Amino acid sequence: MARFVLTLEYFGAPYQGWQSQTGGRTVQDAVERAIARMKDTERRIICAGRTDAGVHALGQVIHVDLDKPWRTDVLRDGLNAHLTAAGESVAVLSVAEAPEGFDARISAIRRHYRYRILNRRPPSALDRNRVWHVAKPLDCERMHEAAQTILGKHDFTTFRASACQAKSPVRTLERLEVSRHGEEIWVEASARSFLHNQVRSMVGSLAKIGHGTWPISEMRAALDAMDRARCGPVAPPDGLYFMKVDYAVDPRVVPDGR
């Protein structure tokens, strides 16, 4: 049996999130069906970070144990053929053989997310379900200044979904940057791990600061309150992207075009 590590991208709007669930269309189910169609033993896959309904990924990482010692480019191309034929919004970007002991989730040392806000009066015809459209002008500099006040190791209960199943609300937020790119504002977050809805909760609160309805100091005050009621509105899933995962020893390869 061989363990493979796959890098995926997907458009999350058609799916009820990553994790397999009864009666729901999920990314996990789509990939596992494609693997089964490769005529290998049906296997469960493990991902680096589960995404919610409507959330996208540019660099999701999974591992899977297969009986057959596949050539990596053949496995990549075969899975993409089955995903495309099934009408799935998922693509396998690369496949590599995993080193001994590698686990897509446990071995991860850092996860990166980006949230896209389209900040203009007209909505988008081309990026619908891919950005959060905010028509009222946002002050990006105020948002970035507020974001810096919650970096570090804290109890993030305020920015945690009530249904979050994590054993502890304590996380270390390594990076939270807000920058403008033309008509878009990007909020980029990095940490070893995140709580359920943490990024979307932080983005919704930062938007209140960008609108001027919260002072900059309220971001840290809300964090210190450790009270979900102090959180701003949770930003919609449309603009959230799972960007990439860092590993101390990274087995992945860059797609070679074969």
The enclosing domain of 63 has a CATH number of 3.30.70.580
Q: What per-residue confidence (pLDDT) applies to 257?
A: 44
Catalytic residues: 52
Cβ–Cβ under 8 Å, residues 223 and 156: yes
Which of 57, 72, 106 marks a domain boundary? 106
Which of 106, 124, 140 marks a domain boundary? 106
CA angle 32, 106, 44 (to 5 degrees): 15
Q: How confident is the model at residue 42 (pLDDT cuts 50, 70, 90)?
A: low
Assess if residue 257 is contained within a domain: no
Expressed as residue numbers, the domain containing 68 is 2-106
Assess if residue 150 is contained within a domain: yes
Query: Which of 143, 151, 145 is closest to 171 using CA atoms?
Result: 151
Both 117 and 84 in one domain: the answer is: no
Q: What integer best gives the mean pLDDT of the chain?
A: 95
Q: How confident is the model at residue 251 (pLDDT cuts 50, 70, 90)?
A: confident
For 19, the enclosing helix (H) or strand (E) is none
Q: What per-residue confidence (pLDDT) applies to 1?
A: 84
> Is it the case that residue 28 has pLDDT exceeding 50?
yes
Which of 106, 138, 157 marks a domain boundary? 106
Where do we find the tokens 């199943």?
165
Assess if residue 212 is contained within a domain: yes
Both 176 and 67 in one domain: the answer is: no
Q: What per-residue confidence (pLDDT) applies to 258?
A: 44
Q: What per-residue confidence (pLDDT) applies to 256?
A: 46
Q: What per-residue confidence (pLDDT) applies to 41?
A: 66
Assess if residue 256 is contained within a domain: no
Q: How far are the Cα atoms of 200, 202, 224 from residue 168, in angstroms, in the given order?
A: 19, 18, 16
Cβ–Cβ under 8 Å, residues 135 and 121: yes
* The pairing of beta strand 56-66 with beta strand 240-247: parallel
For the segment 201-220, what is each residue's pLDDT rounded down to a tens digit? 999 999 999 999 999 999 99
Cβ–Cβ under 8 Å, residues 3 and 98: yes
Distance (Å, rounded) from C-alpha 100 to C-alpha 112? 25
Distance (Å, rounded) from C-alpha 125 to C-alpha 60? 26
The mean pLDDT of 228-232, rounded to a whole number, is 97
Q: What per-residue confidence (pLDDT) applies to 250?
A: 84
> Is it the case that residue 200 has pLDDT exceeding 60?
yes
Both 75 and 120 in one domain: the answer is: no
For the segment 111-139, what is each residue's pLDDT rounded down to a tens digit? 999 999 999 999 999 999 999 999 999 99
> Is it the case that residue 88 has pLDDT exceeding 70?
yes
Both 138 and 58 in one domain: the answer is: no
Q: How confident is the model at residue 255 (pLDDT cuts 50, 70, 90)?
A: very low
The mean pLDDT of 87-114, rounded to a whole number, is 96
Tokens read off for 129: 């379900």
More confident residue, 253 or 159: 159
CA angle 202, 210, 186 (to 5 degrees): 60
Query: Which of 240, 203, 241, 238 is closest to 13 using CA atoms?
Result: 238
* The pairing of beta strand 2-10 with beta strand 132-133: unpaired
Both 90 and 144 in one domain: the answer is: no
Q: How far are the Cα atoms of 23, 110, 247 from residue 65, in angstroms, in the given order?
A: 26, 23, 19
- Work out how many domains the chain is built from and give that number: 2
The mean pLDDT of 3-7, rounded to a whole number, is 96
For the segment 148-170, what is each residue's pLDDT rounded down to a tens digit? 999 999 999 999 998 899 999 99
Assess if residue 250 is contained within a domain: no
Q: How confident is the model at residue 108 (pLDDT cuts 50, 70, 90)?
A: very high
Query: Which of 186, 203, 252, 243 is closest to 56 using CA atoms?
Result: 243
Q: How far is CA 180 from the centre of its chain?
A: 20
Tokens read off for 228: 């979900």
